[in-house]
Structure 1
Amino acid sequence: MELRHLRYFIAVAEELHFGKAAERLKIAQPPLSHQIKQLETELGVPLLYRTKRKVELTEAGKVFLKRCYQILSDVNKACEEAQSIYRGEIGQLTIGFGGAVYDLLPPILDIYQNKYPNLKIIFQQLTTSDQVKALTEGKIDVGLLVSPIDSPHLKFEVIREEPFIAALPKTHRLAKLKQPIDVSELANEPFIMTPRSVGPSYYDAIISLCFQAGFSPKTSQEVQELQTILALVASGMGAALLPSSFQFLKNDDVVYLPLKKSKATCKIAAAWHKDNKSPIVHSFLNLIRELMIPYMS
């Protein structure tokens, strides 16, 4: 028994006329009659009463018709589901992210869920190092992290590049100027940073910025999260260099100042395992590419 047998039977059962059913199916009447007879032979029961004047469903035919509707409906749903999975529209996506991408998450989530309402997204806040480990071990599907990263197992694509800014307590002497500053003006300030083990690229970029300005930063505090850095700056414990997008995190006790003559940038990348062929992952990456074009320098 094949699906075409069911479709042929439905057409005859609805039309109750072999000629009209054949015309509807765009086949000749004799082959249609043969297919229905073949179906009845396989089932071992008559599905139709045939006379010269009319065609009627037997009791078995009436029950079988209902089942045919259900079977074809299930097949159509299965086909649609398979196609949706292939297009990356159904399933679950786990995304790792760090503090440098907070402003990217709302538009990503809003647009992605509007486009793929049947896709479940799970966010996990992780440091860059932890994201690399989680991607390698298959615990997350995509990471949004500071690049570059050094891993033979991962692929990554820069989705945004932004300059650094200085974050200072509002009571700081430079904060009152409310104008761009040279990094060298922070040479004697206590710095609040993340340890290199948390995110090597971010840490190295800060060290390089200070080195080019002629000094090595005096680290007063090392914390795991960039948001914690901001809280400590607000409390007056030191200064920090942060990606410029951090300005969207408003804090009345923190002043953000651009840096003069600084070409150093923080590169945010989407990362995924090189062997991950999931359609969901790649549909997400395609959306990210569309969304992030305005942010890239």
Structure 2
Amino acid sequence: MELRHLRYFCVVAEELNLTRAAARLHMAQPPLSRQIKQLEQEIGAVLFERGARGLRLTTAGQFFYEHTLQILDKVDATVVTTRHMARSERVMFGIGFVPSVFYGQLPLLVRGLRQKDNVELILAELTTVQQIQALKAGRIDLGFGRLRIDDPDVVQEVLFDEPLMAALPVGHPLEGTTPTLEQLAEYPLVLFPAKPRPSLADITLGLFRRHGLKVTIAQEANELQTALGLVASELGITLVPEQVRRVQRDGIVYVYLADKTLTSPVICSRRKGELPSPAMQDANAILEVLVENRRTGRYP
């Protein structure tokens, strides 16, 4: 089995039409059809159901397609990295993050790694779920998010639990107070991110749900800045992690909550069972100092 067979299969699986797939691959249809049949024979499974209306993936074909995509993603990422290393002695090191963790000490980690002569950083804004996929495909080396995800190929470490705050429009009745969840539930909620889910939005809704509280969602937003803009426009309030308070925006005030146990974790994800590279060792050393500063209240 060769990589080209896998690429042929993926194109056919996406098009579900041999004529269109052959056109995309710049080849004739009969050779493509033979390649697919040879692949099925080699695997020992029927990957496509062939009917008058075209092709349809079998259950085995769908499984093979999903895992083939991961294989090809890994191969492509490896090829890109190898080409880059051939042109430079600098090692590529990828970091994925959710926006709400980038207002604290994560920029200091980036700054510290950028000062290393042998490291070239790649930053990617990704949800925690997307980070897990990117780690397994080799597109990133570290991920920073807020969701606990069980995956046998990834190890997650809770760096610290971060207090939640309420972002209110200036002049709101709760400004200058330390409100309870019950008090906050009386006001419309701006929820973010709207998608993809699960996300911080589910953490927020879960807090109210576990306390038996119902909330009215006034608006959903995909971006943090958009959510804060909606709050400033007095459409509602929203809950944000503590480090977001560094975002100074006209029309917004932040207040701590009465219940100090209402927190959101900051979670670091890494590939499991992988010996740390020199770049990873540098990242871990910097991260250890930054986390200790955060835990002991020594902010930069």
Which TM-score applies when normalising by structure 2? 0.62
Change (3 A) 1:195 1:156: same
Say which is worse superposed, 212-221 or 152-161, in terms of deviation. Answer: 212-221
Give, as a single letter, the amino acid of the residue that structure 1 aligns with 2:143: G
- Asked if structure 2 preserves the Cα contact closer than 8 Å seen for 1:128 and 1:198, the reply is no
Q: Is the 8 A contact 1:170 1:253 kept in 2?
A: yes
Residues 127 and 198 in structure 1, CA contact (< 8 A), matched pair in contact too: yes
Partner residue in 2 for 1:63: none
2:181 maps to 183
Q: Please state how far the C-alpha of 1:266 moved relative to its aligned partner.
A: 0.9
Q: Retained in 1: the 8 A contact 2:193–2:223?
A: no
Tell me, yes or no, if structure 1 residue 248 matches structure 2 residue 249.
no
Cα separation, partners in 2 of 1:155 and 1:196, compared to 1, 3 Å: farther
1:235 and 1:276, CA in 2 relative to 1: closer, same or farther beyond 3 A? farther
Partner SS for 2:183? helix
Kept in 1: contact 2:95–2:140 (CA 8 A): yes
DSSP-derived class of the 1:217 partner: coil
Instruction: Give percent identity, aligned residues only.
Output: 30
Task: Give the equivalent residue in structure 2 for 1:155.
Answer: 155
- 1:263-278 alignment to 2 at 5 Å? 263-278=261-276
Contact 1:129 1:198 in 2 (8 A): no
| 1:231 alignment counterpart | 229
Q: Give the drift of 1:164.
A: 0.5
Report the Cα offset of residue 196 of structure 1.
7.5
Instruction: Tell me which residue corresponds to 2:129.
Output: 129
What is the Cα deviation at residue 235 of structure 1? Answer: 2.0
Aligned mate of 1:200, from 181, 198, 201:
198
Cα distance, 1:93–1:227 mapped onto 2, change above 3 Å: same
The answer on 1:172 being equivalent to 2:169 is no
Aligned equivalents of 2:194 and 2:219: distance in 1?
A: 13
Gap regions ≥5 residues in structure 2: 1-84
Task: Report if the CA contact (8 A) 1:135-1:272 is conserved.
Answer: yes
Q: What secondary structure, in the 3-state scheme, does the structure 1 residue paired with 2:102 have?
A: helix
**For the structure 1 residues 282 and 193, does the alpha-carbon distance in structure 2 shift closer, same or farther, using more than 3 Å as the test?**
farther
User: 1:201: Cα distance to partner?
Assistant: 5.9
Does residue 107 of the first structure (1) align with residue 108 of the second (2)?
Answer: yes
Note the aligned Cα RMSD (angstroms).
2.4
- Which residue does 1:117 correspond to in 2? 117
- The answer to whether the Cα contact below 8 Å between 1:146 and 1:199 also exists between their aligned partners in 2 is no
| d(CA) in 2 for partners of 1:228, 1:179 | 24
SS at match of 2:178: coil
AA matched with 1:91 = V
1:97 to partner: Cα distance: 0.9
What letter matches 2:186 in structure 1?
Answer: N
User: Which one has the largest radius of gyration?
Assistant: 1
Q: Report the Cα offset of residue 199 of structure 1.
A: 5.2
Matched to 2:293, the amino acid is P
Contact 1:129 1:197 in 2 (8 A): no
One-letter amino acid of the counterpart of residue 296, structure 1:
R
Contact preservation (8 Å) 1:96, 1:123? yes
**Quick check: 1:94 aligned with 2:80?**
no
Which position in structure 1 is the counterpart of 2:283? 284
Kept in 2: contact 1:135–1:273 (CA 8 A): yes
SS of aligned partner of 2:255? strand
Tell me, in whole angstroms, the C-alpha distance in 2 between the residues paired with 1:132 and 1:197. 17
- 1:261 — aligned with what? 259
Seen in structure 2, the aligned counterparts of structure 1 residues 251 and 197 have a Cα distance that, compared at 3 Å, is closer
Give the conservation status (yes or no) of the 8 Å contact 2:135–2:142: yes
Aligned mates of 2:234, 2:147 — CA distance in 1: 29
Q: Structure 1 residue 96: deviation in Å?
A: 0.7
- Equivalent-residue separation in structure 2 for 1:226 and 1:128 (angstroms): 16
Deviation (angstroms), 1:91:
0.8
Q: Contact 1:196–1:204 (CA<8 Å) still a contact in 2?
A: no
CA drift at 1:213: 4.2
* 2:203 aligned with 1:219: no
Residues 1:117 and 1:289: Cα distance change in structure 2 (over 3 Å): same
Separation in 1, partners of 2:100, 2:149 = 15
Count of residue pairs brought into register by the alignment: 207
Shift of 1:253: 0.9
Supply the distance in 2 between the matched residues of 1:264 and 1:201 (Cα, whole angstroms): 16
